[in-house]
Copies of this chain bind each other. A is one copy, B any other.
Amino acid sequence: MTNTNIDRILAGLAEVADIEAGRAAPARLFRPGAVDVRAIRGRTGLTQAAFAAQFGFSAAAVRDWEQRRREPEASARVLLTVIDREPDAVRRALAHT
């Protein structure tokens, strides 16, 4: 373990360069940043409770997100994005149950 950490740093820098040059794929293609839960819900015209019920969230989670007390997990951010952009597809997928 002489210069293993330095090696790792160099490898990391090389990877960043590769990704930026398009020679490699980033670890996570879709990196969901912060989502505006209230805005997304607002577009659906639903109350917090109804929104949670329709899309399988717990009401508590939606509350915490809109109050900015908690940040939605990566999975939740992705789902919220899909709800925002393809709401009918989400409803179709959930209706089957």
Interface residues of A (CB under 8 A from B): 25-32, 52-59, 61, 72-79, 81-82, 84-86, 89-90, 92-94, 96-97
Contacts and interface: CB of A to CB of B under 8 A. Distances in A.
B82 A53 contact: no
Contacts of A61: 74-75
Protomer copies = 2
Q: Chain A's interface: helix, strand, loop or mixed, by majority?
A: helix
A56 B72 contact: no
A27 B59 CA distance: 9
Contacts of A97: 30-32, 81
Contacts of A31: 56, 97
A19 to B, nearest CB: 12
